[in-house]
Chain A
């Protein structure tokens, strides 16, 4: 595909311009196939938060692009990301979403692997004579690195270290993790849903403040006045910043960038009852820290290509086909923190997120409409020039107003770099 031109006479590089991308990025199955190799199998991809595999033997299955993988913690606490495929005849060795195991045993012929992927046992080995050295057939292992509890893996052995790939995104990850309110953060369950549209439509949405007052009008009608005013940020002082390597941050509520600052500010009305409940068990300074953390961070951090740290949850995207995407919204709770605080978090998540939330279904409808509309016209473009007029260079990258499409331009710049390398 890279060296070829599309049916409209564009090269792959032409499809991404500084202020627009070609509609075929949403609709062309050949481009999607190419993305699986050149994007998902060619960069750092998020696989789990450390709290999802807390103990030796804890595992989580998932996908990198369309390839099934298992993320597992071994007996020495080392994390491995293994291809979920028996080396004998390819059957998956681990089913189920999350759990705990002592080993991985293929259900087909019983080949068994230890938690670090080493091939341990082959039933009735005599038939192989000396043709099978077990040391040659471990589960295929990916390179794994971790930052701020976020576990990433890559197929690309010579890629830059994760910390370099994340770059300035790291400081935003550090800020995001403050929503533990003094406790370690823990994934407390997730909503999973699919929508009939291309994965990049969802990727864009995480730094799209512009849609919020319109698409989420019904959500805004369901919250108290103070929350509604807090979420009225489109013409506010926030910003979007391109952080390099496809990552970007959208700050909607600047006051909630650092959850450990400004603890003396009045407790918002919606948290008054929670604060009162917490006062029975915690001193006032800790009550304030927890309550401020419960509402979540005032920004969305989009880490290319598949994970976002978004207000009070992790958004994970999984490309299924050129026109289908699976989304996980994982709620973040305080590990060992007050149940009342965690319950508030869970109820807030249910209010907006998931297939029955007051927010997600409307996002999903908008994304579905983008995919449907993308079939109109034969050589049309998607405009991404909002906020370009006032975009300024910064120490970390480029910045414009909160409803600028700066984050989308950042993601497509990285997409182009990977797809045309």
Chain B
């Protein structure tokens, strides 16, 4: 097991989680490859995201629009903004071709907004492209444990 790579990738993912929990969206947007995709599928087994309906399938433009909406004050479902704390763990390197690394981990996310705390658990799968001594995100897939159920609205970036 390549512990150095595992540490490296998990440190990157923990940092990303911390950015999202603390609303550091410009920094978060800068983590991405220009052609990167942020995906939240409905069926956790789905692989053809382009030709199926997802909860989100954001290219660079949609990611920046999503971020703009969260901070705009124009959306009643995100004002006040939900507070989130996510823990990421159980990191595993699934593939490494020298250029890109595929990492899977578990995410437990607690959300609190207006008297209600909710809990979303997910498998996260990242395709990370090596970029100097760090990475850039080529793809992030958030497979919510209960994605196939009727959800409640999500006013942040899980």
* In the assembled complex, A270 has its CB within 8 A of some CB on chain B: no
Q: Residue on A with the closest CB to B62?
A: A351
* In the assembled complex, B81 has its CB within 8 A of some CB on chain A: no
Residues from chain B with a CB closer than 8 A to the CB of A366 are: 76
Q: How far is the CB of B49 from chain A (nearest CB, A)?
A: 9
Residue in contact with B154 in the complex, picked from A190, A350, A355, A369, CB distance below 8 Å: A355
Task: Tell me whether A350 and B72 are in contact in the complex, defined as CB-CB below 8 angstroms, given that A192-B149, A356-B40, A361-B154 are known contacts.
Answer: no
* In the assembled complex, B8 has its CB within 8 A of some CB on chain A: no
Which of B42, B148, B150, B153 is the most central at the interface, judged by chain A CB atoms within 10 Å of its CB? B153
A188 to B42, CA, bound (A): 12
- Interface 9-residue window, one of A33-41, A217-225, A380-388: A217-225
B111-158 residues at the A interface, CB under 8 angstroms: 148-155
Instruction: Report yes or no: A350 in contact with B57, Cβ–Cβ below 8 A.
Output: yes
Number of interface residues of A (CB under 8 A): 37
Residues from chain B with a CB closer than 8 A to the CB of A349 are: 53
The 8 A CB mask of B65-93 against A (1 = contact, 0 = none) is 11011001011111000000000000000
Instruction: Report yes or no: A356 in contact with B56, Cβ–Cβ below 8 A.
Output: yes
Task: Tell me whether A222 and B75 are in contact in the complex, defined as CB-CB below 8 angstroms, given that A355-B151, A361-B155, A364-B153 are known contacts.
Answer: no
Residues from chain B with a CB closer than 8 A to the CB of A355 are: 55, 151-154
Number of interface residues of B (CB under 8 A): 29
Chain A interfacial positions (CB closer than 8 Å to B): 97, 188-195, 215, 217-219, 221-222, 326, 328, 331, 339, 342-343, 346-347, 349-351, 354-356, 358, 360-362, 364-366, 369
Besides A356-B40, A364-B153, 15 other A-B contacts (C-beta < 8 A): A97-B148, A195-B153, A221-B69, A328-B150, A343-B50, A347-B57, A350-B54, A356-B154, A361-B77, A361-B78, A361-B155, A364-B77, A365-B76, A365-B153, A369-B76
* 15 A–B pairs (Cβ distance < 8 Å), ordered by A: A188-B53, A189-B42, A193-B150, A217-B74, A221-B74, A222-B68, A346-B52, A350-B54, A358-B66, A358-B75, A361-B75, A362-B75, A362-B76, A364-B152, A366-B76
